[in-house]
Amino acid sequence: MNAKLVNKIAICILWFTGFFILLLLCVFLGYILYKGLPVLSFDFIFNKSSDITAGGGVGGQLFNSFYLLFLSLGISVPIALGAGIYLAEYAKDNILTKIIRLSIESLATVPSIVLGLFGMIIFVNMMGLGFSILSGTLTLVLLNLPLLVRVTEESIKLVPKSYREASLAMGATKWQTIYKVVLPSSLAGIITGIILTAGRALGETAILIFTAGTTVSRHMFDTDVTAAGETLAVHMWYLMSVGLVPDRELIADGIGALLIIVILLFNLILTIPLRIIQKRMGIISK
């Protein structure tokens, strides 16, 4: 068969596959938004109790979702950055680093429900933290770290060696080179990893059911880390599995649409400023 014909067939198959995946995504998101958008209102989103639905609003769950997310990222991102920098720039290729990488990859494959049980045994029971936002946060850190460490390490390794050599040749120290040259150049990959981790954490249920609980404070903006912290995803699971609310399907549709909108907005909030910063730094070619 002619090589050009084979190439055209392969390109057509790839384009068809891409459009098919895009179509599936549009159908999936469109159906959820079609069912859930009519439910959304100011009272439903920001109030704990609402006259619109018998189950009330989801203000407390919405706040807890972001509160848990930012607390867990606040702990896991600095640790992941330090570990990624060490593995990419300082660690030698020996048995110790191989064990560290194997441990990270093994932790990344652990099912979330297993991490949830681990968090319940260690944080909830042994440490006496109870079903609380703090227990959920510490367990989410275990979920976030493997992906963040691997993404940080690989993003740093993708920075050309010529960047490091040029910085060192101008008299910069190794740490100055990492801080002022390597990290800014790898920022896109690191932010992408944070976005993926954040989206996974926002939709997590198994871990938080066993650690943060299925109840929510009476006040929407309750920052007490010892209080129970039901999130949007957990609330949806609770409604559809054990909830006795008459219009639980209606509320679940609204929560599904709200989760999609929240994740999309969160991605935009992170990616748009990133592109602006990269252009100003000259990382993105015009």
Percent of the chain with pLDDT over 90: 22
DSSP state of 48: S
- In this structure, is the dihedral angle defined by the CA atoms of residues 39, 231, 71 and 67, taken in order, positive or negative? positive
Architecture of domain 40-281: Orthogonal Bundle (1.10)
Statement: residue 285 has pLDDT above 50: no
Q: Are 200 and 267 in contact (CB under 8 A)?
A: no
pLDDT value, residue 50: 46
Confidence of residue 52 (pLDDT cuts 50, 70, 90): very low
Assigned token pair, 202: 């926002």
- Cβ burial of 157 (10 Å; 0-12, 13-18, 19+) is middle
Statement: residue 19 has pLDDT above 90: yes
Which residue matches tokens 């968090």? Answer: 119
Instruction: Give how far Cα 20 sits from Cα of 26, 31, 149, 208, Å.
Output: 10, 16, 32, 34
Confidence of residue 281 (pLDDT cuts 50, 70, 90): low
Least confident stretch, 67-76, 200-209, 223-232, 241-250: 241-250
> Taking the domains of the chain in order of start, what are their residue ranges?
40-281
Q: Are 207 and 120 in contact (CB under 8 A)?
A: no
CA distance 245 to 239: 7
pLDDT value, residue 103: 87
